[in-house]
Amino acid sequence: MSNAPQLFATCDYNAPLSPNCVAWLCRALTVREKPHVIDLGCGWGQLLVDIVLHLPQSTGTGYDSDQLLIEHATAVVATFANEERISVSVADCTQVTEHSDVLICMGSTHAWACLEDALTSFEQTLRPEGELIIGVPYWENSPSDAACHALGTTQDGLPTEISLRNLVTESGFAITGFRASTLAEWDAFEIAWCASRVIWLRENPNHPDFARYAEQLEKHRAMWLDGYRTYLGFAVIVATKRSPNLTAG
């Protein structure tokens, strides 16, 4: 049996998103007739389900390279009353060329060589005037050495908010919605992420993966609290694929 549901049992999403943030995200979308939604790096599929529920007569397809998360996503989709509208599959997201009306990539742009490559791919696969939903980490404050070390990057390794906005618009999109996760949302996500593993470790003391998950938990907690907390931001962006006559947002 997959460990994924237990390892994320206390997380709503695998990103610093709150119900208020997701409600804002749904309101920012332009409802279109029978849209097809693709989620690249869908994790366990909860955000995909929420978006499909919000868009009448929509269908959705989620892709993730993690077999365990797709097993979890299959179970999540099965709880959806109209589960035939959503499918999930194991796949390398960078190789998906299927076209969509709404494209989600929440915290998974790192799968591409760089953010520019990810945005180029999104622009090529979105249908005309399609909508892009991305969640991207950025430096909210000038990072400390500890923050850079925790994330294995440099001060230039992540964009600032301004450079992120510019990059999206220069890649063929007009930004129609921008929301930065609050510190409270970040903390709630990190606490939930750690709590799921604390519970799993307590309930599975003899599991062969116990030592691996215990080490992962301690390393992650130190990265968060002693490293990137208050420096790392998370931007949730809604953008429309620009037509030749539409100016950048």
Paired residues of 177 in beta bridges: 238
183: Cα separation from own chain's centroid: 17
Q: pLDDT: is 5 or 247 the higher one?
A: 5
- What are the tokens at 2? 């997959």
pLDDT at 246: 52
pTM assigned to the model: 0.93
Tokens of 230: 């208050």
CATH of domain 4-241: 3.40.50.150
Coil, strand or helix at 233: strand
Nearest one of 141, 66, 148, 61 to 102, comparing CA atoms? 61
Boundaries of every domain in the chain: 4-241
154 C-beta neighbours (distance < 10 Å), count = 11
83-94 pLDDT, tens digit per residue, is 889 999 999 999
Identify any residues that bridge with 232 across adjacent strands, giving them in sequence order: 139
Residue 132, sorted as left (phi over 0), alpha (psi -120 to 50) or beta, turns out to be beta
Going by pLDDT thresholds of 50, 70 and 90, the confidence category of residue 80 is confident
| Better-scored residue on pLDDT, 245 or 48 | 48
| Mean per-residue pLDDT, 36-41 | 97
Residue 110: pLDDT over 90: yes
Alpha carbon distances (Å) from 217 to 32, 84, 191: 42, 36, 11
Per-residue pLDDT for 4 more than 80? no
**pLDDT cut 90: percent of the chain above it:** 85
- What does the pLDDT look like over 111-153, one tens digit per residue? 999 999 999 999 999 999 899 999 999 999 999 999 999 999 9
* Rounded CA separation 202/18 (Å): 27
